[in-house]
Amino acid sequence: MSDRYAVIGRPINHTKSPLIHGLFANATGQHLEYGAIEGSLEAFEAQVHQFRDGGGLGMNITAPFKLRAFELADQRSERARLARAANALRFENGCITAENFDGIGLLRDIEVNLGEPLRNRRVLMLGAGGAVRGALLPFLDAEPAELVVANRDMAKAMALRNELDHPRLRISRYEALEGQAFDIVINATSASLVGERPPLPGQVLGTAQLAYELAYGKGLTPFLRLAREQGVGRLADGVGMLVEQAAEAFAWWRGVRPDTRAVIDQLTIPLE
């Protein structure tokens, strides 16, 4: 029997993870099975234990279970702890370890695939939910000139700051962004999922070289449209992040890091 992995989420029918991990396995000559499990709101923990007890070696976790996966683990990486969320679990010697590769996946996509290093750049991140929490540590490690996090709910954003006091991290209201300039702007809010856009004032995207939308496969979202109107040179969605976080998990489980370029190309849906 080959080694078993799976992604669990609710709903799970649109997941690309089995496809991505299947392509990685082929490309690296690793023998594994990777399935998809529709999670149960009542019995998520039991489902994870059942998969592990049946010989499973690891799982990816997607919405809405990332927090519950983090909580059920015996050990947690630092970035999972800061995110208070796990997107990957590893089962080893009776121990469940939680990791969060979303932030590092996003960083790698921006720096390596899109060729925009964060070092000494001014970076604006919109939102203060799980996606932003997961990205803070890897982003600050990349030494931007400043990382500004803007959110409507200031209490939520300030809570981030209280957990991670860093000289390059600044919390801002949307209105206070007026007149500021950024090189890289990332929409990590869930606004696009309901066809909305974060309340960015004035021409705040005007100087940016890259506008990045975390949502994948939603085409030109209201945020990306605004970025285009304000003349941002490069627009990207989250396909590269999706593939990069998968590659990190694959490397963590299998000890081999697959090449991501061909898989990103295969999954890319043109923005228009």
What residues are labeled active site?
Answer: 66
Work out whether 105 is an interface residue with ligand ATR (CB under 6 A). Answer: no
Place of tokens 């030494």: 143
Q: Total binding residues for ligand ATR by CB under 6 A?
A: 14
Question: Of 25 and 171, which has the nearer Cβ to ligand ATR?
Answer: 171
Residue 207 binds ligand ATR (CB under 6 A): no
Asked if 172 touches ligand ATR (CB under 6 A), the answer is no
Q: How far is the CB of 79 from ligand ATR (least distance, A)?
A: 15
By beta-carbon proximity to ligand ATR, the closer residue of 10 and 156 is 156
CB nearer ligand ATR, residue 66 or residue 76: 66
Q: Of 87-95, 122-130, 135-143, 257-265, which part binds ligand ATR (CB under 6 A)? A: 122-130
> How many whole angstroms from its chain centre is CA 155?
22
Residue 159: partners with Cβ closer than 8 Å, 6 or more residues away: 128
Angle among Cα 142, 106, 124 to the nearest 5 degrees reads: 65
Residues 123-152 that bind ligand ATR (CB under 6 A): 127-131, 151-152
**Residue 198 makes contact with ligand ATR by CB under 6 A:** yes
Identify the residue among 190, 207, 230, 268 touching ligand ATR (CB under 6 A): 190
Of 156 and 168, nearer to ligand ATR (C-beta) is: 156
The span from the CA of 97 to the CA of 199, in Å, is 38
Regarding 189 and contact with ligand ATR (CB under 6 A), the answer is yes
Give me the least distance between CB of 212 and ligand ATR, in Å please.
Answer: 14
Q: Which is nearer to ligand ATR, 158 or 256 (CB)?
A: 158
Task: Please choose, out of 19-27, 178-186, 191-199, 239-247, the segment that lies near ligand ATR by the rule CB under 6 A.
Answer: 191-199
Determine which residue in the list 38, 78, 92, 153 makes contact with ligand ATR, applying CB under 6 A: 153
Shortest Å, Cβ 18 to ligand ATR: 22
Q: Which is nearer to ligand ATR, 47 or 189 (CB)?
A: 189
State the first-to-last Cα distance of the chain, in angstroms, to the nearest integer.
Answer: 43
Binding site residues, ligand ATR, CB under 6 A: 127-131, 151-153, 156, 189-191, 196, 198
